[in-house]
């Protein structure tokens, strides 16, 4: 079993703030032991934090991360968790594909606006007798 971690140990090791760790604790995603005022985090807490951070990096909401973590069942296997994860990956991929299409459309609109501005500037310069 992994050695226990203090909040500062976890923050340093995972490169996050202690405030972020306390936030995840407030959300019910971590449950450290208490020794007086001191929080003692387990290896399981560290793994949970890593999963939260990975989920956030790929665009999952905190609720989605929590759902996936709660689906883990070491006794009966994690098939449901993996199937749910695959479904969420497909959804996220679809969202990203739509965002890419939206960005490409915006770029085309910017190109058109820029061309019109350049044309209008050239026309203005021509009317005023300005040469480049």
pLDDT of the residue at 129: 83
Q: Are residues 1 and 25 in the same domain?
A: yes
Are 83 and 58 in the same domain?
Answer: no
Mean pLDDT for the chain overall: 93
Q: What is the pLDDT of residue 77?
A: 81
Query: Are 14 and 55 part of one and the same domain?
Result: yes
What is the pTM for the complete model shown?
0.75
Residues 93 and 64 in one domain: no
For 64-123, give the DSSP string: HHHHHHHT--TTT-SHHHHHHHHHHHHHHHHHHHHHHHHHHHHHHHHHHHHHHHHHHHHH
Q: Do 2 and 62 fall into the same domain? A: yes
Domain count, the chain: 2
Q: What is the pLDDT of residues 32-65, one digit of tens each?
A: 999 998 999 999 999 999 999 999 999 999 999 9
pLDDT at 13: 95
End of a domain among 33, 49, 70?
A: 70
Same domain, 50 and 92: no
- Give the pLDDT of residue 1: 55
What pLDDT is attached to residue 76? 81
What is the per-residue pLDDT across 67-117, written as a single tens digit (0 to 9) for each? 999 998 878 888 999 999 999 999 999 999 999 999 999 999 999 999 999
Task: Tell whether 59 and 84 lie within a shared domain.
Answer: no
Asked which of 25, 52, 70 is the last residue of a domain, the reply is: 70
For residue 63, give its domain range: 1-70
Distance CA 4, CA 88 (A): 32
């Amino acid at each position: 079993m992994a050695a226990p971690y203090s909040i500062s140990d976890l923050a340093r090791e995972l490169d996050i703030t202690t405030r972020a760790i306390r936030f995840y604790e407030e959300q019910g995603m971590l449950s450290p032991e208490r020794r007086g005022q001191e929080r003692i985090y387990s290896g399981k807490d560290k793994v949970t934090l890593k999963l939260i951070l990975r989920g956030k990096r790929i665009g999952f909401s905190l609720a989605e991360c929590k759902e996936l973590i709660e689906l883990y069942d070491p006794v009966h296997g994690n098939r449901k968790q993996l199937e749910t994860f695959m479904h969420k990956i497909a959804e996220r991929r679809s969202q990203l594909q739509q965002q890419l299409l939206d960005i490409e459309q915006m770029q085309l609109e910017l190109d058109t606006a820029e061309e019109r501005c350049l044309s209008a500037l050239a026309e203005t310069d021509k009317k005023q007798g300005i040469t480049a």
